[in-house]
């Protein structure tokens, strides 16, 4: 499988999304996130993922502006937080994000968590923002199969992306299948299990064969699984190392070994409960 740092996936509804990018969760506003974004863009990353919750959109916008990389070459994702969902609330939230980013549009706008009682009104706003050109594509985060089924019944424009927790210990095959059936691109958050890939002997051992570390093997595995990866780091050297995954390829056997590590173990919140504490 030939892949490069600029490889993309075609989204439902049109447009190309990089298969590899930079996550910025818990990257502090200011020099920390600006430095990681600057390094990433220098290395060749073209996708940057943020959210209103992260509190770093302004710094990301500044880093992008200073980089000299044309906006047209970038893919910027942000998200609407749970207390911003609803029709008018979602419209206003996107415009606040655009103001902080100092951009005219974002490439991808996501519902950060499923809130069943607000889904219809929030999604109507998402569709309107896309129709008006303020966002190029719309999608969701943390949607399980019942959430996708609920969205099926109300969406005129289907989601282009579902971003959810995905790593060797949590592969969520039923969600992946539901996304593939609908033409939804799968994107992983916590792709490195927040560092726990170093506690996976099989992944470490595979890396030793290639002179790679467990992080690089896990990221390469994701890409070969056709999953978009957005590893987060605020350390310039790690930002560089994370991108050093395009000079080797896992065998089908090695991919299957890592596939076999799934134990349905979550690191983050279970989306079966809405962020408000409401059960499905």
Which residues have a catalytic role annotated?
Answer: 54
* Structural contact between residues 26 and 53, judged by C-beta atoms closer than 8 angstroms: no
Q: Which tokens is 210 given?
A: 């290639």
Q: What is the distance of C-alpha 117 from the center of its chain?
A: 24
Q: What is the C-alpha separation between 105 and 219, in angstroms, rounded?
A: 29
Q: What is the dihedral of CA 49, 268, 118, 184, to 10 degrees?
A: 60
b/e map 5-26, b = 16+ CB within 10 Å: beebbebbeeeebbbbbbbbee
Q: What is the C-alpha separation between 273 and 235, in angstroms, rounded?
A: 33
- Say how many C-beta atoms besides its own lie within 10 A of residue 241's C-beta: 18
Residue 147's φ and ψ, nearest 5 degrees, are -65, -40
* Cα–Cα nearest to 143, from 272, 34, 251: 272
Q: What is the C-alpha separation between 114 and 141, in angstroms, rounded?
A: 7
* Structural contact between residues 206 and 280, judged by C-beta atoms closer than 8 angstroms: no
Residue given tokens 């506690």 in the structure block: 199
Q: What is the C-alpha separation between 131 and 159, in angstroms, rounded?
A: 14
DSSP state of 19: S
């Amino acid at each position: 499988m030939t892949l490069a740092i600029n490889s993309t996936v075609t989204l439902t509804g049109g447009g190309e999304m990089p298969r590899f990018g930079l996550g910025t969760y818990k990257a502090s506003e200011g020099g920390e996130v600006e430095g990681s974004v600057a390094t990433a863009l220098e290395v060749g990353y073209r996708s940057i993922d943020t959210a209103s919750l992260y509190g770093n959109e302004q710094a990301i916008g500044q880093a992008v502006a200073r980089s000299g990389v044309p906006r047209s070459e970038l893919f910027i994702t942000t998200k609407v937080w749970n207390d911003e969902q609803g029709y008018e609330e979602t419209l206003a939230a996107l415009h606040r994000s655009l103001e902080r980013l100092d951009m005219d549009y974002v490439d991808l706008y996501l519902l950060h968590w499923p809130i069943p009682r607000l889904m219809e009104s929030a999604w109507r706003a998402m569709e309107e923002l896309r129709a008006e050109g303020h966002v190029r594509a719309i999608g969701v985060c943390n949607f399980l199969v019942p959430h996708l089924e609920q969205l099926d019944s109300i969406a005129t424009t289907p989601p282009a992306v579902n971003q959810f927790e995905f790593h060797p210990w949590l592969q969520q095959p039923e969600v992946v299948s539901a996304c593939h059936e609908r033409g939804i691109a799968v994107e992983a958050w916590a792709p490195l299990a927040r560092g726990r890939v170093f506690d996976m002997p099989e992944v470490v051992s595979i890396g030793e064969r290639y002179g790679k570390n467990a992080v690089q093997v896990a990221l390469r595995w994701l890409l070969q699984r056709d999953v978009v990866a957005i590893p987060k780091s605020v350390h310039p050297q790690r930002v560089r190392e994370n991108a050093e995954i395009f000079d080797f390829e896992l065998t089908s056997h090695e991919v299957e070994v890592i596939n076999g590590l799934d134990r349905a173990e979550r690191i983050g919140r279970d989306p079966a409960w809405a962020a408000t504490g409401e059960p499905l």
